[in-house]
Structure 1
């Protein structure tokens, strides 16, 4: 049985084994490109010659994310890549012509629970290939201490108050003033990610968060700029201060109205996390 939260493995992780001429890019130059948000932890590994990397893990599902940066040279797509689990090729994904960060390069579900070996082979004629992070669902025997976890908006530990509603299958949202959310977790920091679409009001709104009943901190929901009709994804709405390792409770309250930008939640990134308990997810629609 696997854990219900995905472990995030940054490209800088020392357990990733690189072969070939890779360059660590921490300039942040890619962060403003596309509409899928900044690169994870402000770092990517890039290669403009043939290269590869590998990673060993215990789990049941894995995905590899990077910055999509393909060129079509007279029908030849470059860079190209092939992903393998235990020397078996993973399914190819259709090429996408536009640059995007946080792009799923390959994925494999329904693995036999246990140890596996990931290998990614890159072929390029000079166009940069960007690798950002790995995410996998670990086996239940894998310790989650000192790990970074991706907490999906459907995670059963998230307690949605009245006024929240589903935004398709991608997120939850609220535009009701006073709507609350609580989340009990173990870790040392947490980031809240959401999205903004052209369907939302562009009038900015505010929300607040607090940890363990402490003083609330305000964060602003800006909405899309005038004239923009492109949704924005993977937007970091706030990050908590560094916390002592242990059990904490996050509380978030939306202060806006239906005439302002709503509060959305796609996922949270939990640092040094574990999964202490699984209360039933509760959600009341408007």
Structure 2
């Protein structure tokens, strides 16, 4: 697999309310040109009554409430301080969190933590394993919540590791 290329190919802001179609045409030879499609970020209109799209909170979103111990670096926010928390409010029926596994931490053992929704019981997560020291692995899912009742919710993520193991990263555009 080629090295990750964190390049935004296209983007459009401030579209008029209403239906839109995105068409992606690939031109070239399938034996010499390769496109690995990563993701689409969709933000519904503030006037939308109902949306079935995903809303992505980037690590630098002002709605994220970082507690002590978090550091902003390049396109990520990280902590290696036990008990560091980040929280935010969202409207939806499911939430997932993603991270980056930097090549600098190729000998990592664990990236443990927990999350809770609406001050409910904590659920643990742990990104473990050994991948490669050559490339960083972007958009690695830390967890996905079970289905939630439609409505307003509050997510809290708490890092359970320490400075001896892999830090927890929240990822921005890569």
TM bucket, shorter chain: 0.7 to 0.9
C-alpha change, 1:103 and 1:196, in structure 2 (3 Å) is closer
> Which residue of 1 is the match for residue 59 of structure 2?
153
Please state which structure has a larger fraction of its residues in strand.
Answer: 1
C-alpha separation in 2, matches of 1:249 and 1:99: 36
- Where 1:134 maps in the other structure, the secondary structure is coil
C-alpha separation in 2, matches of 1:112 and 1:253: 34
Contact 1:221/1:263 (<8 A) preserved: no
Q: If the length of structure 1 is used for normalisation, what is the TM-score?
A: 0.50
Contact 1:171/1:266 (<8 A) preserved: yes
> Larger relative contact order (C-alpha < 8 A, sep ≥ 6)?
2
Superposed displacement of residue 117, structure 1: 5.9
C-alpha separation in 1, matches of 2:145 and 2:22: 33
Deviations 1:105-132 (A, max 9, x none): 72145x5642776443333444476656
Contact 1:208/1:217 (<8 A) preserved: yes
> Which residue of 1 is the match for residue 25 of structure 2?
121
Q: Which runs of 5+ in 1 are unaligned?
A: 1-33, 35-97, 268-286
Number of equivalent positions: 167
Contact 2:43/2:53 (<8 A) preserved: no
Q: If the length of structure 2 is used for normalisation, what is the TM-score?
A: 0.78
Q: Which runs of 5+ in 2 are unaligned?
A: none
Superposed displacement of residue 217, structure 1: 1.1
Note if 1:107 corresponds to 2:10.
yes
Superposed displacement of residue 209, structure 1: 0.8
> Which residue of 2 is the match for residue 247 of structure 1?
152
C-alpha separation in 1, matches of 2:119 and 2:44: 32
